Structure 1
């Protein structure tokens, strides 16, 4: 008989990677690129994606935090007359491929610790799957996951529970035996709808007060997950 918790599914950005340290600079580079250096155009672009140019960071209600690349591109199009969503999305992905990744915790030893507990591990991100695999490969952990999916993988995107249920099917566990770990309400709403346990982490933009109503626990970062699991497995 399997244990009460047999699998853990992680969001990527804001969960495995610190959101601000990794993506705030990316946001500035995207805006500078798409605006062509024009300050007024940069302000318009920043407004569409809720980016604070003075503080060089995304605001908590930014659609970038949990949105797909296409959703972000569609937002930016409001300030890019004559562009297509595909053209904007291509620029977003190109900048993302060069983003300096900052791990929320040292991921290799952290994931090895979870694997040693015989937990099935997965990643579900609203980013593209190829980019997710590239990022995870860059820090040497892509082969430590049993399942990796993005918004373009054919399962849908969060907050739909469909990709989370696809993970459960892929690793052969019931949703009640799985934990969804994420930094946004999209992650936790998807987890709740899928019937999974939900853990929020504070390495994204959302605060404890935002995540707590949707979570079984809110932790400072994923490094605290093993201690939380100890009381449940």
Structure 2
């Protein structure tokens, strides 16, 4: 029986390309001062398709931490350092308008009414994650929120998921990890949780299916999936 649900953030609660696609194009152009060759190089380093304003399925940005994304960017932005670039990235991420995969307040109201413990495990930094959840009006729905810098490590490691279980007192086999990337599902499997893939990120079903107990179009299908199991 599922008693706890732990969610990835970007690509899971928020549609990945709808949220970050056009914004990333503007950010890349700004970081390169519009220099065409440098813009192309930075877009390629980040796995971003400037023409279609979408991240490619293999983009480092999809599942990486902010530090890993910054490292990729610094191969082009050689005058910058992690210390100068990451604060700017976090500030921009905190302010970006998030496109919800489904209306989140009624969705999480329903899950809380079912008595489920809810958590967030993101490879984003904790501060922008909290800002995004607060802006969406769902911060208070969660029993546990962790970013890669919250002291539990990052996915595909299990530290965030293990901490969720400690915080809620739930055994891993009573929990499900929900995400749009293989990092999310690898972490869930390694932690001993049920794994649910969703298709609101760049990864296709065929990529997620080998690691998922079920692949759903979006998180809005989870209540029906839970009902079918009861």
Structure 1: gaps (5+ residues): none
Q: Which residue of 2 aligns with 1:157?
A: 154
1:178 to 147, 153, 175: 175
- Shift of the alpha carbon at 1:181? 0.3
- Shift of the alpha carbon at 1:90? 1.8
1:130-149 matches, cutoff 5 A: 130-149=127-146
1:26·1:96 contact (CA, 8 Å) conserved in 2? no
The answer to whether residue 82 in structure 2 is matched with residue 85 in structure 1 is: yes
- Shift of the alpha carbon at 1:100? 1.4
1:211·1:218 contact (CA, 8 Å) conserved in 2? yes
The answer to whether residue 33 in structure 2 is matched with residue 36 in structure 1 is: yes
Write the distance in 2 (CA, Å) between the matches of 1:172 and 1:9: 14
Q: Which residue of 1 aligns with 2:222?
A: 225
Structure 2: gaps (5+ residues): none
Write the distance in 1 (CA, Å) between the matches of 2:112 and 2:132: 20
1:1-233 matches, cutoff 5 A: 4-233=1-230
Secondary structure of 1:9's match?
A: strand
- Shift of the alpha carbon at 1:139? 1.0
Equivalent pairs counted in the alignment come to 230
- Shift of the alpha carbon at 1:91? 2.0
Task: Give me the CA root mean square deviation.
Answer: 0.8
TM-score computed with the length of structure 2 as normaliser: 0.98
TM-score computed with the length of structure 1 as normaliser: 0.97
Runs ≥4 in structure 1, deviation > 6 angstroms? Answer: none
1:9·1:178 contact (CA, 8 Å) conserved in 2? yes
Residue range with higher mean Cα deviation, 8-17 or 18-27: 18-27
After superposition, the C-alpha distances for 1:100-148 in whole angstroms (9 at most, x for unaligned) are 1100000000001011110000011000111111100001000000000
Residue range with higher mean Cα deviation, 222-231 or 23-32: 23-32
Write the distance in 2 (CA, Å) between the matches of 1:118 and 1:100: 30
After superposition, the C-alpha distances for 1:15-52 in whole angstroms (9 at most, x for unaligned) are 00010110112211220111011111100101111111
2:94·2:129 contact (CA, 8 Å) conserved in 1? no
Write the distance in 2 (CA, Å) between the matches of 1:97 and 1:192: 30
